[in-house]
Chains A and B, each alone.
Chain A
């Protein structure tokens, strides 16, 4: 990074919005590929929010005059077995995927991070016990654990979020704990402790703000995984139940349609999943590179 010495000192304090805009501009300059996919991700999010305006048909409305029709000018992505428009269902399906992904990652990473903060800060027996529990959680393949929890709680939006969130907890716990362990020994924390700061103040006022960068990295890198798990749960019939469209249960429906599933019912939801995951993964890579230069270029 170069420092422009000749630049005159700013006379006014830049506003928060300005700072954010400048950060975004720098992101575009330094990681154009990630920024491009970030725009794609933003478009997908916008599409999902504006679904009622964007989708040509209501997602649940069946048209019995055009059932299982291949793509044409009226239905760009074709229609399913009971004449619902696939394009509209793919657009509405993004709502489920994104709600679950954001909800689960936010919930799981936050719980994990707070747990990791407590483990790293207090150490001792509590930490020992917690590390074992986290190990047990990590002994399950992600999807298997999510399947079991989703099945036990019964399908639905909330349970799918919880099921996926629980599989994300160990990651937050591990990473933040490691960060906290090193922060705890820093002099400024020692100084604050010397001044008589309480545990609460030390944890939330002095240590937690330093954990924001790793938290952001964790959250963005796990969005893609969460979307894939959500789609898999939907595909296996333990996700958000039909008739509400999700990309996963649309693929499942396609497979149940008959011995030979119509190609358009298979192709489009999968493309939607792939594009979304790709966008979030690459955006996450860019954010990670920017927030943590040490990791640049590695896995």
Chain B
């Protein structure tokens, strides 16, 4: 078990390094001239040569690329995540202030997706091709197609229209002001949670349908165990393994989805910060945030893999 975790961690470390190189290539090399990316094509033309040279030097962009890369990695490790061009707050502080809100949204949405998705999957799989099953499948197909941020906009609009209610715009920490905090996170969490629940219900249904046909489930039934126990004690634990894997993959959907969804709700989380960075063409903040998102995604996937290994001896021992 420990060797598996160690291997997985080593592998994850390599992946994070690969990811950092990729982020660097995308954000620093692809734009051609980083000043074009910062100032936009029109703004760039207006700069004099002298100004260009000064900016390049100030930003450390005249060094060779590998020196720039190493300097960036060193900064990241030291916790110096740089400054935005447009704000005084350092990126590290911003992440610490806004990150918890997005993490909360992600966590609640995952819990919600299981609370909704699994019961739906069980009903669907135990009574296939009934009205309940058809309704569940129709809803999950619909939710796979609806863009989350649009649902978010509709929710905000409906609340405003019918109740004159609007979620607070300022950030609120969980422990300092739980009520305001809940109002901020609940909307995005519901939207993202339902989006995942659709995948989970679909996957859970087909995985459960497969498992209940297996011999050991029939044996459990034959020895007289009651139906409910057969499902909850024998069928579900095995059927849920692929769902846990899927849930890990869906975390990518949550992390990425939080950007447009937070914009739709106006939630002052990290996703909104990313939207701001994109719309202000703030390359360096974007670079660090993209790296952070990818690194978090890698780390969460390691956690999910380890969790599966704990639950499934076939993986642990192979």
- Seen from chain A, the residues whose Cβ lies within 8 Å of a Cβ on chain B are 132-133, 135-137, 139-145, 147-149, 151-154, 224, 228, 231-232, 235-238, 251, 254-255, 260-261, 263, 266-267, 269-270, 273-274, 277-278, 281-282, 297-299
Q: Are A144 and B145 in contact (CB under 8 A)?
A: no
B150 touching A154 by the CB < 8 A rule? no
- Contacts A140-B294, A148-B286 given: A274-B146 contact, CB under 8 Å? yes
Cα A251 to Cα B148 in complex, Å, equals: 12
* The stretch of B52-60, B66-74, B259-267 that contacts the partner chain: B259-267
Which residue of A has the minimal Cβ distance to B34? A152
- A154 vs B293: C-alpha distance when bound (angstroms): 21
Q: How many A-B residue pairs have CB under 8 A?
A: 147
Residues from chain A with Cβ under 8 Å of B37 in the complex: 151-152, 154
Give Cα A178–Cα B203 distance, bound, in whole angstroms.
22
Bound CA span A224–B160, Å: 31
The yes or no answer to B31 lying at the interface (CB within 8 A) is yes
Q: Is the CB of B203 within 8 A of A153?
A: no
Interface of B is mostly: helix
- A152 and B27 contact, CB distance less than 8 A: yes
B253 partner, pick from A141, A267, A278, beta carbons under 8 A = A141
Task: Check if A278 sits within 8 Å of B142, measured CB to CB.
Answer: yes
Q: B residues bordering A, Cβ < 8 Å?
A: 14-15, 18-19, 21-23, 26-27, 30-31, 36-37, 40-41, 141-142, 144-147, 149-150, 153-154, 157, 160-161, 202-203, 206, 209, 252-253, 255-257, 259-260, 263-264, 274-275, 278-279, 281, 283, 286, 290, 293-294, 297-298, 301
Q: B144 — which chain A residues lie within 8 A by C-beta?
A: 224, 277, 281
A-B contact pairs, 16 of them (CB 8 A): A132-B14, A139-B15, A139-B297, A141-B255, A141-B297, A142-B252, A144-B256, A144-B293, A147-B274, A152-B283, A228-B147, A260-B157, A266-B150, A270-B147, A274-B142, A278-B145
Q: Report the minimum CB–CB distance from A100 to chain B (whole Å).
A: 14
- Among A133, A148, A235, A236, the residue within 8 A (CB) of B290 is A148
Assess whether A236 is in contact with B153, with CB atoms less than 8 Å apart.
no
For B153, B274, B279, which residue has the most chain A Cβ atoms within 10 angstroms? Answer: B153
Report the minimal beta-carbon distance from B252 to chain A, rounded to whole angstroms: 4
Contact status A149-B260, CB under 8 Å: no
- Contact B293 A224, beta carbon cutoff 8 Å: no
Chain A residues contacting B157 (CB-CB under 8 Å) are: 260-261, 263, 266
Q: In the bound complex, how far is the Cα of B259 from the Cα of A143, in angstroms?
A: 9
Which partner residue on chain B sits nearest A262 by CB separation?
A: B157
Query: Chain B contacts of A260 at CB under 8 A?
Result: 157, 160
Whether the Cβ atoms of A143 and B256 lie closer than 8 Å is yes
